[in-house]
Amino acid sequence: MNRICFLNVVALLLIAASFRAPARADSPADKASHKEHAAKAKGTRTIGIVLYPMFETLDVFGPVEVFGNVTQGLKVVTVAEKAGPVTSAQGPKVEADYGFDDCPPLDLLLVPGGMGTLAEVKNPAMLNWLRQRAEKAEIVMSVCSGSAILAEAGLLDGRKATSNKRYFQVAVDHGPKVNWIRKARWVDDGDRVTSSGVSAGIDMSLAVIARLYGEATADKIADLTEYQWHRDADNDPFYREGE
């Protein structure tokens, strides 16, 4: 090949490269996948369970039980507006390991429901903190009416989500831009995963564990806790037509 011919070939290759298709914008699912890969590369994850006055105890301790039995480098911490004891809806106080101001980085974030939801949807400290933390979280989860808090913070806009059947309208009222799904045990929308009422949070948590750590790990934890895992997110035994 003579020098002129070689230069022509190089020029053609440069022109072709300049016409490559523009990069495709990441979908929410793509972003969730990128975050998952980043966390896996680190080798460990930290899940923060949010506490607030009048939270529902099983919304918290169901997920704590199953996530706490993951042995592949998952640390469970509790966080509230202020570190220290937080009174649940059922009465017992639970210690928050961290406050919003000193909470370490979180890979996973879970917001429970409870009667205190009605106060937290009006709490700027809670809403602002959730917005900030959700930007860097791999997955943001909620149990029961906790989805109303996420919705009020704008973290479910344009997403599919669910909530407690008995207080479903509360969630709807705080998330007019959310695609609410009433008949669902839980709803997985990439980096946003929401569950129905109370015990449904255990099913959701096992599903998230299966995604992050494998089905065998989730099966082992369900067996260890002697829990009959509802594996089908769309099979909602507590849905009642017309409610």
End-to-end CA distance of the chain: 78
Alpha-carbon span 54 to 7, nearest angstrom? 74
Q: Is residue 90 part of a domain?
A: yes
- Mean of all residue pLDDT scores within the chain: 87
Q: CB–CB of 146/59 below 8 Å?
A: yes
Q: Domain for residue 123, yes or no? A: yes
Task: Look up the CATH number of the domain holding residue 183.
Answer: 3.40.50.880
Domain range for 72 is 26-224
Domain count for the chain:
1
pLDDT 10s digits, 70-80: 999 999 999 99
Q: What's the pTM value of the predicted model, to 2 decimals?
A: 0.82
**Does residue 221 surpass a pLDDT of 50?**
yes
240 lies in some domain: no
What was the pLDDT predicted at 39? 46
Whether residue 14 is contained in a domain is answered as no
pLDDT tens digits for range 65-106: 999 999 999 999 999 999 999 999 999 999 999 999 999 999
- In this model, does residue 22 exceed pLDDT 70? no
Position 242 scores a pLDDT of 57
Residue 19 lies in a domain: no
Residue 132 has pLDDT above 80, yes or no: yes
- The type of residue at 130 is L
Strand partners, 139: 108
Q: Return the percentage of the chain with pLDDT > 70, whole number.
A: 81
Has residue 216 got a pLDDT over 60? yes
Contact predicate 208/189, CB 8 Å? no
The set of catalytic residues is 144
Contact in structure between 195 and 186 (CB atoms under 8 Å): yes
How high is the pLDDT of residue 108?
98
Would you say residue 132 lies in a domain? Answer: yes
Question: Which residue in 162, 221, 219 sits closest to 189, CA to CA?
Answer: 162
- Residue 205: pLDDT band (50, 70, 90) is very high
19 Cβ contact list (under 8 Å, min separation 6): none
Would you say residue 210 lies in a domain?
A: yes
Given pLDDT bands bounded at 50, 70 and 90, which one contains residue 10?
very low
CB-count burial class (<10 Å; 0-12, 13-18, 19+) for 164: buried
Residue 239 lies in a domain: no
Average pLDDT over residues 17-25: 43
